[in-house]
């Protein structure tokens, strides 16, 4: 295995921003079937950025059209847009809160692909219009409406939060505007709520944790598995998928914890419960700033040396490893990417990303990079023409395999979810830093749809 040098990440305060207050959105969240996602008071900031230039935010009014109005009145780029004319693409990501670093990585991954292709996709120069979703479904919906109604983008990519993805689903489906999700793993997006206009270059929440269950039963514990995740859509789905796989193997799961999302800074009550529950091991899903806090407190509470901690790879993603430090050393996770994957495409990608940004890529950068690649290849088949949206989404659905840094990747033409391999990883010391070394290829896990 080619264990590449670990590049130092940003300091903790640069990567894990201040936790914002959770915003209650009862009507929308009832439809999403999830708890409230993190987010501060809604704003209406956004930026229009020609490809290849730094992102700059400009204040614009928030869109107020309803989903129905958007479906009937939205205007994307001119139907006569031809190859060579600028292509507007919306980028909907969080720029603050516990998931700010994820949004930054997604921006960087998309931009790297553009920079490598002269700022063009499918032969057309790209203008990126960025909006801050705040990882909040109400704000995300409003910002998506703005992108469609005011900015008249041809398509949108990004989205970190499962609740945001579920909240904007009907908007894009009814408006018939392509949405390429480059993170949010809400299962229904490629199942009951799948749409011909919505694609994913990331994962389903089922994939990211079901892949770990059998291995955990065979290698970690067969009973007494305590499960914990933040109380929102992705947390609930991650726990459910791991439980499904672990129990199918013959394991037993203890009733676990659901800390409030975006506001929990002290996990002591949950760590005490773990210590008193008779647990043999712990499965945890956390990401971004929450992953830093939980992993550090798990070690500080004295549990790391007595109870194995496992989870999906977001728990120890490269974006949080430096801040976690030795608290993460030895933790084992499953994910569809690590910069230490040994394949030629990844070697070139890691080198290019480190040269551009001075740090290691993450799973979030790769997913966004591949979103740009998907758009590029599909548009290339159509000569860059976006006038026929049905032809565009058909090209995306049938694109087949992508040459991805993550290794095998194929777009499922039915679910529009990636068919990809998942890897068992372990945090190890790598050339003076920390990295997720590959222990085992767990194989492909197509979402059942």
Tens-digit pLDDT profile for residues 119-156: 999 999 999 999 999 999 999 999 999 999 999 999 99
In a shared domain, residues 251 and 150: no
Domain presence at residue 4: no
Nearest to 267 by CA among 256, 253, 255, 252: 256
CATH of the domain at 404: 3.40.50.2300
Residues spanned by the domain of 429: 206-336+423-444
For β-strands 225-228 and 198-200, DSSP reports them as unpaired
pTM: 0.82
Same domain, 276 and 355: no
Q: Are residues 24 and 78 in the same domain?
A: yes
- On whether residue 248 sits in a domain, the answer given is yes
- Is there a single domain that holds both residue 116 and residue 44? yes
Same domain, 189 and 215: no
Residues 356, 397, single domain; the answer is: yes
- Asked, for residue 5, whether it belongs to a domain, the answer is no
Same domain flag for 406 and 303: no
The pLDDT of residue 82 is 52
Inter-axis angle of helices 344-357 and 100-116, to 10 degrees? 110
Same domain, 415 and 312: no
pLDDT > 90: what percent of the chain? 78
* 6 part of a folded domain: no
Q: Rounded CA gap, 291 and 405, in Å?
A: 24
Residues 151 and 69 in one domain: yes
Asked if 321 and 295 count as a contact pair (C-beta separation under 8 A), the reply is: no
Whether the per-residue pLDDT at 31 is higher than 50: the answer is no
* pLDDT over 90 (residue 289): yes
Q: Does one domain contain both 35 and 176?
A: yes
pLDDT greater than 70 at residue 5: no
Distance CA 232, CA 201 (A): 21
Residues 328 and 432 in one domain: yes
- Bigger pLDDT: 29 or 384? 384
Number of domains in the chain: 2
7 assigned to some structural domain: no
> Is residue 268 domain-shared with residue 155, that is, in the same domain?
no
63 has a pLDDT exceeding 60:
no
Q: What is the pLDDT of residue 164?
A: 97
How confident is the model at residue 83, as a pLDDT?
54
């Amino acid at each position: 295995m080619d264990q590449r040098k670990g590049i130092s990440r940003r300091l903790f305060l640069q990567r894990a921003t201040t936790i914002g207050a959770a915003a209650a959105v009862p009507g929308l969240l009832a439809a999403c079937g999830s708890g409230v996602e993190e987010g501060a008071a809604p704003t209406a900031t956004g930026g229009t950025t020609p490809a290849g230039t730094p992102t700059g935010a400009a204040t614009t009014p928030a869109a107020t059209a309803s989903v129905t109005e958007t479906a009937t009145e939205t205007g994307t780029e001119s139907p006569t847009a031809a190859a060579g004319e600028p292509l507007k693409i919306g980028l909907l990501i969080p720029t603050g809160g516990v998931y700010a670093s994820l949004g930054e990585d997604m921006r960087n991954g998309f931009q790297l692909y553009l920079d490598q292709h002269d700022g063009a996709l499918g032969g057309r120069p790209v203008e990126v219009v960025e909006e801050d979703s705040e990882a909040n479904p109400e704000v995300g919906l409003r910002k998506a409406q703005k992108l469609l109604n005011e900015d008249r983008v041809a398509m949108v990519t990004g989205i970190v939060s499962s609740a945001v993805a579920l909240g904007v689903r009907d908007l894009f489906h009814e408006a018939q505007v392509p949405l390429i999700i480059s993170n949010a793993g809400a299962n229904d997006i490629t199942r009951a709520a799948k749409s011909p206009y919505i694609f994913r270059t990331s994962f389903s929440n089922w994939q990211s944790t079901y892949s770990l269950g059998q291995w955990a039963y065979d290698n970690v514990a067969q009973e007494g598995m305590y499960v914990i995740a933040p109380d929102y859509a992705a947390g609930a789905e991650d726990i459910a998928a791991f439980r499904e796989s672990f129990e199918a193997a013959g394991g037993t799961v203890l009733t676990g914890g659901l800390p409030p999302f975006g506001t929990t800074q002290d996990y002591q009550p949950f760590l005490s419960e773990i210590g008193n529950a008779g647990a043999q091991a712990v499965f945890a899903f956390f990401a971004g700033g929450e992953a830093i806090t939980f992993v550090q407190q798990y070690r500080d509470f004295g549990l790391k040396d007595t109870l194995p901690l496992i989870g999906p790879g977001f728990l120890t993603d490269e974006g949080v490893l430096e801040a976690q430090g030795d608290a993460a050393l030895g933790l084992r996770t499953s994910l569809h990417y690590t910069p230490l994957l040994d394949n030629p495409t990844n070697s070139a990608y890691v080198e290019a990303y480190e040269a551009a940004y001075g740090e290691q890529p993450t799973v979030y950068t790769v997913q966004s990079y591949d979103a740009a690649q998907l758009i590029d290849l599909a548009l290339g088949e159509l000569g860059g023409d976006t006038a026929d949206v049905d032809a565009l989404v058909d090209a995306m659905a049938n694109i087949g395999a992508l040459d991805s840094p993550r290794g095998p990747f194929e777009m499922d033409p039915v679910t529009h979810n990636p068919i990809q391999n998942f890897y068992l990883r372990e945090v190890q010391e790598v050339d003076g830093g920390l990295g997720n070394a590959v222990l085992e290829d767990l194989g492909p896990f197509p979402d059942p749809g």
